[in-house]
Amino acid sequence: MTEAGKLPPRDRPTPLDSATDRPQRWSSSGRRWVAALLLILAAAVATWAVVGPRRPAGGQPGAGGLGKDLPRGDRSILLVTVDTTRADRLEPYGATDIETPVMARLASEGIVFERAYAVAPITLVAHTSILTGLYPPQHGVRNNGTHYVPAELDTLAEKLDRRGYRTAAFVSASVLEKRYGLTQGFEVYDDDLSTGRERHPRMVPDRPAEATVASTRAWLDGVGDDEPFFAWVHFYDPHAAYSPPPPWRDTYRNRPYDGEIAYMDAQIGELLTHPRLRQDDDLAVVVLGDHGESLGEHGEQTHAILAYDATLHVPFVMQVRGGPKGVRVAEPVSQVDLVPTLLDLVGETPPGDLPGRSLLAPRDARAAAPRPLYSETYLPYYTYGWSKLKVLRRGAWKFIDAPEPELYDLGRDPRELTNQHGQRPSLAHDFARDLGDLLDAFGDAERETALELDLEAVAKLRSLGYVSVGSTGAEDRERIDPKDAIDLHVGLERARVLLRDRLHRQAAEQLRGVLRRDPENQAALVDLASALEMGGEVEEALAILERALTAAPDDPSLILQVAGLESRRGQLAQAVELTNLALELEPRLLEARLQKAAFLAQQRRFDEVRGVLDVALESHPDHPRLGALYAQWVDLREGDRDGAEARLRRALERDPFLVLAWRLLGEMEEDRRAPEAAAKAYRSGLERQPDDPLLHRRLGLLLARTGGDTAAEMHLREAIRLSPQLHPELHVALGGWLAEHGRSAEAQREYDRVLEQDPKHPGARNNRAIALYRSGQVEDAMAELAALVQEFPRHADGHNNLAAIAVERGDWRRAERHARRALELDPKQTEGWNNLGVAVEEQGRTAEAERAYRRALDIDDGYWQARFNLGVVMARDGRHQGAAEALEAVVSRVPGFPDGHLELGRLYAGPLGDPQLARSHWNAFLRTAPPQHPEVAEVKAQLAMLPRRAGGAAEP
């Protein structure tokens, strides 16, 4: 039997397993360890209706006098633009297996334009034409993300604003956010994408239709009955990746694109139930597509590379209350016709310089011959350096200006399967001539309004295929015809999916195949460099980028990618110089400043870091990632934890998918000794980005350190899998967790992986020593640790473990010496204070021991081992009530700790005089103590001597 109030020595020392973050305790009582899109295409593409329209019985083909008897005036207008929506997926255009009752009702109560065409199969380009009435060569917006709407253009919203209209826009994707200039004329431009994004974590930020509808309805609540308004509502849902919510998810289980269409139709219906819309007898509702979706036609899965009608034919339905009903217009019309039509509707003469026409004008006001309609796609040029495609259609004929020109008779060949260019040379000549004349009439046919971008935005756009870097190259070189290389585009899209899934080897193989056929493809070169970097092949990645720089030596994004690789090679000074070069080329390039700050931080030049970030904040005060980095490198380093947290939470409000902010919040919670809150932050980040290696690392280390179950092992293994290079701290941490759970052989294998690469790695050697100790090889363990601290004299864990073993062996002086050395090196080491307390207590210096235990608890109030030892010291000193309170706190936290119940039983049976509580704790001791515990027999004897109640008989 041990002396009353004295903890058996085997339970008291706390050796440390090495890990990257904090020392870990392994004492036998309460151990703690750390060691440490797809682009979803329809699974089965259903047979779709022919692009040519089907007219339901009772329809009225022809356009004669649509607005002849329609009163003009300031009526309210609701414009709904539906992104990536094929006309043939809607009931008014012949769909029979997709439920779109709202569109069907609008069609029956209004006008269906059967042959409406987009100016470009690209969102920003099309919407700019929809809202300005101009063709792309006139307004200069030719691509998503890289261009903007010039301020000098007069938009429909500006025209209506001048008439006294309330104006508001509600967009659902970042490709239409404020920075691109469509805000002109809108008193409200709602591009807040933070709501509802959990359902669709697509490649670019967006929000589902119900979130956009909710924002629109809230605005309509404040519009008076006598106030005319123009509201533009944009829905993005049918854009890849297709992921409709229930019940459409189940109804269209094998047709997710169709499910998105049906869901969007229902949300249009929800919007139209708003009283301000439902009760307005003068309301005009327009539903217009920006572009369609190929869904495999001509080899294209999505849109924007080719210029066929699968992506250019769009829905266009207009319901004017009090106007024509059930009318179907067969004449080809364009998106540029919307502005003059709506201006005519409100009683304003459309400007004469608009290329479109009012579709409400009487037939005799129009030319008798079919008018030409223009379309284009420049995305192949901006993304891959391939040829631009320009389209001219007149009547039933369509001409595509490409390296191999195309001519189609849409009346006989609506799917554009047979190129008539060689069979109709005269007609083809006329089309080519007329297209040239039209472009000449536009003035600068190659006009573009380029936007200054940060590379984060470029990366998002590149993930969608909207832009590459340095992809345009010399204007005089022969360019690839997109239709001949659509399989390369599909391969590049596949490679991007593989890169997003971190399958870098497969991505590299795919990209090398592309480059064998298109050696100058900058997109493929840049992506191949990224794949090689992801696999740790830095030198080869640099060689690939040198090829790309040959074609675009002044491209700042390429220069920054090289800078990142130089930093991987440890050439931080060179990396900083490259960021300076990028800034010389583009002074307002945010990504260059962020990279420069990162490279300076790696060199611990934090005063310069702050200067760089302060300059960036002047021009980008609300940029989420910039805010997160400022919190990391400025606020936290200067001790402003509240400021850092506020900045991080503001960043997450703007971008909930910013995993850096989630990780920093988790680390702050760890520093506050709030492991549950930290784990919640890490898990929130992983919900948004499930394959982030740093989040897995932080969560795995945290769970292992706090006694986590198998989740700790799983997160550590996932962090290792996602890291291309060996990270010793992860293997050491995993080894510690495995050893703690009795899997010694597996633990040793983890240490061996580290020691094979670095035979002197202190963490692995420390943990290997603990493994030796646990296997009974105490002398070998001590020799390993002694060699470790001799070679690494500042290794606090090694000193503390020597202290722990010395305590086990009763060598109190040696234990004190190593514990003090460990604390000199790491004063916040709770385990070191605990071991010091045990060592000096055993030498009779109880007051000093108490101070050591209290110091451990000041650092970590939840460190129950020190609290237990404190309770024992207080009991020895006669402070019985305080001792009981300390020990009760221990068993409350660790109810299965037998020695806590043992000491409490002694206190209550003795000086505190409460036999009932003594009985409770001693019974708990007997339930939790192993049978071989030396106090079991004594406790049973003491229980037999306790009275059942005051004045009663003894317990038998």
Give CA separation, 473 vs 304, 490, 523, 543, 553, in Å: 20, 22, 12, 19, 10
pLDDT band at 61 (very low <50, low <70, confident <90, very high): very low
The pLDDT score that the predictor gives to residue 332 is 96
Nearest to 620 by CA among 641, 594, 645, 595: 594
The predicted pLDDT at position 724 comes to 67
What is the pLDDT averaged over residues 304-309? Answer: 96
Map tokens 């000086």 to a residue. 911
**How confident is the model over 511-556, as pLDDT tens digits?**
999 999 999 898 999 999 999 998 889 999 999 999 988 888 888 8
Q: Which residue has the higher pLDDT, 776 or 14?
A: 776
Residue 565, helix vs strand vs coil: helix
Task: Tell me which of 455-459, 677-681, 695-699 is least confident.
Answer: 455-459
Assess contact for 446 and 412: CB atoms under 8 A.
no
Asked if residues 759 and 784 have their Cβ atoms less than 8 Å apart, the reply is no
pLDDT per residue as tens digits for the range 834-880: 999 999 999 999 999 999 999 999 998 888 999 999 999 999 999 99
**Residue 206, SS3 per DSSP:** strand
H/E stretch holding 892 reads helix 880-893
CB contact at 8 A, 285 and 125: no
Mean pLDDT, to the nearest integer, of 345-363? 90
The pTM is what? Answer: 0.67
pLDDT at 673: 85
Which range is most confident: 25-29, 95-99, 589-593? 95-99
Q: Whole-angstrom Cα distance, residue 728 to residue 166?
A: 62
CA-closest candidate to residue 755, choices 789, 784, 713, 796: 784
Average pLDDT over residues 40-48: 26
pLDDT category at 194 given cuts 50, 70, 90 is confident
High-pLDDT (> 90) share of the chain, % = 65
What is the C-alpha separation between 437 and 401, in angstroms, rounded?
13
Higher pLDDT, 66 or 336: 336
CB atoms within 10 A of CB 954: 11
Indicate the SS3 state at residue 530: helix
Q: Rg for the chain (alpha carbons), in Å?
A: 36
Region 424-453 average pLDDT: 86
User: How many angstroms separate the CA atoms of 773 and 801, rounded?
Assistant: 10
50 by Cβ neighbours in 10 Å (0-12 / 13-18 / 19+) ranks as exposed
Q: Is the pLDDT of residue 457 over 60?
A: no
pLDDT, residue 954, reads 45
| C-alpha count within 13 angstroms, C-beta hemisphere, residue 569 | 16
Q: Two tokens at 219? A: 């605005």
Mean pLDDT, residues 103-109: 97
Question: Which two tokens mark 411?
Answer: 């009346």
Q: At what angle do helices 590-602 and 556-568 cross, to 10 degrees?
A: 10
Q: Predicted confidence band at 204 (pLDDT cuts at 50, 70, 90)?
A: low
How many residues are given for the chain?
A: 956
Give the pair of three-digit tokens for residue 161.
Answer: 């604003």
Q: How far apart are CA 773 and CA 779, in angstroms?
A: 8
What CA–CA distance (Å, rounded) separates 18 from 758? 15
pLDDT at 925: 93
**Predicted confidence (pLDDT) per residue in 831-845, tens digit:** 999 999 999 999 999
pLDDT of 610-664, one tens digit each? 999 999 999 889 899 999 999 999 999 999 999 999 999 999 988 888 999 999 9
Give the residue-averaged pLDDT of 364-369.
Answer: 55
pLDDT value at position 16? 52
pLDDT confidence band for 452 (50 / 70 / 90):
low
Mean pLDDT across the stretch 294-301? Answer: 94
- pLDDT average, residue stretch 229-245: 95
Of the two residues 330 and 452, the one the predictor is more confident about is 330
> Parallel, antiparallel, or unpaired: how do β-strands 313-314 and 116-117 relate?
antiparallel
pLDDT value for 464: 42
Q: Does residue 65 carry a pLDDT above 80?
A: no
pLDDT digits (tens, 9 = 90+) for 265-285: 999 999 999 999 999 999 999
pLDDT averaged over every residue in the chain: 86
Within 10 A of 43 (CB to CB), how many other CB atoms are there?
10
Tally of CB atoms within 10 A around 839 = 29
**293 and 83 Cβ atoms separated by less than 8 Å:** no
pLDDT at residue 862 in the model: 85
pLDDT at 196 over 80: no
How large is the greatest C-alpha to C-alpha distance in the chain, in angstroms? Answer: 121
What is the SS3 string spanning 57-120? CCCECCCCCCCCCCCCCCCCEEEEEECCCCHHHCHHHCCCCCCCHHHHHHHHCCEEECCEECCC
Are the C-beta atoms of 345 and 67 separated by less than 8 Å? yes
